[in-house]
Amino acid sequence: MNGVDRPHIIRKSPWDEARRALAGLPGGGLNIAHEAVDRHAAGPRASRVALRWLGMDETRRDITYGELAALSNRFANVYRSLGVAKGDAVIVLCGRIPELYAAVLGGLKCGAVVSPLFAAFGPEPLQTRINLGHGKVLVTTEALYERKVKKIAGAMPTLAHVLKVDSGEARTMIDAASERFEIERTSPDDPSFLHFTSGTTGMPKGAQHVHGAAVMHYATGTVALDLHDEDIFWCTADPGWITGTSYGIVAPLLHGVTSVVDEAEFDAERWYAILEAEKVSVWYTAPTAIRMLMKAGAEVAKRRAYPSLRFIASVGEPLNPEAVWWGMDAFGMPIHDNWWQTETGGIMIANTAAMDVKPGSMGKPLPGVEAAIAHRDAKGIRWVEAPDEQGELVLRAGWPSMFRGYLDQEERYRKCFAQGWYFTGDLARRDADGYYWFVGRADDVIKSAGHLIGPFEVESALMEHPAVAQAGVIGKPDPMLGEMVKAFVELKPGNEPSEELRLSILGHARKRLGAAVAPKEIAFATALPRTRSGKIMRRLLKARELGLPEGDTSTLEEGA
Ligand code: 6R9
């Protein structure tokens, strides 16, 4: 099992077929937007619906591949006119509106690095990410600008332009722009997306992806999501998270199928109505959403019929075995769990259509993906061969959608690899049949409603409250959200715990971080457990919260 330490080598054979299904740029090179849109627009799929957009207010709009090509060309021309050059960062902060898709694809056409951000982030996570990503152009809406960006407008030195897609000025530019554009000649190794992900320490990391990832998105669209030519596909994730980009934008368009985009947030009735009325055939969603549907009851699902529905998949957090069984009850088919990460860019481990689903398991590595369980310490790597023994999930480096760096953090990137293997930071085990089972994360990162949240970012925002001296943030198990963000705060001298102060800190956190990231619970603590070097021991906070054994506390500060 000893790999060579060459993480950037793309192993050819398993991906060749997917590569052959793509066209490549005329004259050479590869660009995701060309594969996803323009090549369809130039052929018989031009009049096929690419995006079926369902607005919050019951409006709907069908956008064909031909129209999407033209609209994304307009955006590309606008970026060009603003001086966006190859490698410049375009940040897209919109709700799930049609312009988001055109803005993203237009950026890729320009050769820009595109970073879609979640519209439910508060000003602070936005500012952090735009600055870390060296954002040059920000595409947003009038309302999001007013609510979130205005407050931080002076604090983003690299930002040269803000395009509010629904404001008069930007609209005039977009409407006046040409519908023709010659795609920048990008190579498979040129940067495409920048997706932020959170770690245990420090601010988020910008995972850098490349145009060559299209090969993986195409391949996994076939193998893991079972996409066929006439499918109506619905990925419920927001493009502010990688699932919503890789599988909410790229993979379905690469396959030339029709993709449903719902602008609204989760609502059980609405979702069942969409599945039925839009004749969704392949549905990719997340455990938290499934648990919320389960809570509404299978009878609600059975009030409608879904004769078109053929395949359901889920990602982002552990999928409870009951959820898989519930799929059988509500829809007559199991839910296929799959596993991947921002860093892997695409699905790596899955229960595919051809496999027997093992409820509770993430499935098996896809063809071309080599996974293993290992332990790593100062002495090196110890491979786990025995079935059911837990360890860190590792992947042989070199699949096409592998991240190529953490922006400006070379050392952190290097540390993810050893002997040609990528260390995922997840704990898992493999059973005797080769199925992988998720055990937990090796770090303190929180997964709440499928969203990855870095405790450090939350703690930093809490400490900006005038009464807070220190904060420790953990993921507390929650039956609906998987984990819920819980904060423990130590007050500055002269402040007393009170309900009023708790609400003031909660309100502060929501305003700064946004509802998706802010803690749901805040508790006052007199002395947070710290190591002798002063670091908050989140692991211990969590053990105490859950009444679990405290584990190794040898580094704990006296008296904490
Ligand atoms: C795609 C995405 C990645 C982390 C990952 C793991 C957790 C993802 C899972 C799962 C259990 C699954 N995760 N899929 N845990 N079962 N099927 O979610 O990317 O936001 O980067 O999160 O999510 O801990 O390491 P990202």
Structure tokens at 82: 């603003």
In a domain, 22, yes or no: no
Q: Is the pTM of this model over 0.85?
A: yes
Between the CA of 214 and the centroid of ligand 1 the distance, in Å, is 20
For ligand 1, which residues put their CB under 6 angstroms from it? 197, 241-243, 315-318, 337-342, 362, 424, 426, 438, 441, 447, 452
Encode pLDDT of 116-146 as tens digits: 999 999 999 999 999 999 999 999 999 999 9
6 within a domain of the structure (yes/no): no
CATH number, domain containing residue 450: 3.30.300.30
Nearest CA to ligand 1 atom 5: 341
Chain segment 504-532, per-residue pLDDT in tens: 999 999 999 999 999 999 999 998 998 88
- Residue 333 makes CB contacts below 8 A (sequence gap 6+) with 309, 310, 311, 312, 327
Distance CA 99, CA 165 (A): 7
| 88 inside domain | yes
| CA 316 / ligand 1 centre spacing (Å) | 4
**Ligand 1, atom 26: nearest CA belongs to which residue?**
341
Is 260 within a domain? no
Domain membership of residue 409 (yes or no) is no
Residue 541: inside a domain: yes
| Angle of CA points 420, 422, 426, to nearest 5° | 150
Q: Is 258 helix (H, G, I), strand (E, B) or coil?
A: strand
Residue 386 binned pLDDT confidence (cut-offs 50, 70, 90)? very high
Sequence letter at residue 129? R
Range of the domain at 140: 31-38+57-205
Digit-coded pLDDT (tens) for 217-258: 999 999 999 999 999 999 999 999 999 999 999 999 999 999
Can you read off the two tokens belonging to residue 383? 């491979």
Q: How far is CA 314 from the centre of its chain?
A: 13
Residue 9: the pLDDT is: 43
Mean pLDDT, rounded, of the chain: 94
Query: 137 CA to middle of ligand 1, Å?
Result: 30
pLDDT at position 555: 66
Tokens of 326: 């519930």
CA of 248 to the centre of ligand 1 (A): 16
Q: Which of 175, 205, 235 represents a domain boundary (last residue)?
A: 205
CA of 318 to the centre of ligand 1 (A): 8
Ligand 1: nearest atom to the Cα of 451: 20
Whose alpha carbon is nearest atom 1 of ligand 1?
A: 341
Last residue of some domain: 187, 205, 223? Answer: 205
Query: Considering 150, 170, 205, which residue would you say is the last residue of a domain?
Result: 205
Q: What is the pLDDT of residues 250-292, one digit of tens each?
A: 999 999 999 999 999 999 999 999 999 999 999 999 999 999 9
Overall average pLDDT of the 195-217 stretch: 95
Q: Any idea what the CATH number is for the domain that residue 97 is in?
A: 3.40.50.980
User: Could you read off the pLDDT of 52-72 as tens digits, one per residue?
Assistant: 999 999 899 999 999 999 999
555: its two tokens: 């580094």
- Which atom of ligand 1 lies nearest, measured to the CA of 450? 18
Cα–ligand 1 centroid distance for 340 (angstroms): 6
Q: Is residue 445 over pLDDT 80?
A: yes
Is 285 inside any structural domain? no
Q: Region 81-101: what's the mean pLDDT?
A: 98
Domain annotation covers residue 551: no
Closest residue CA from atom 11 of ligand 1:
318
Q: Are 362 and 400 in contact (CB under 8 A)?
A: no
Which single residue is written with the structure tokens 């993906």?
Answer: 369
Domain count, the chain: 2
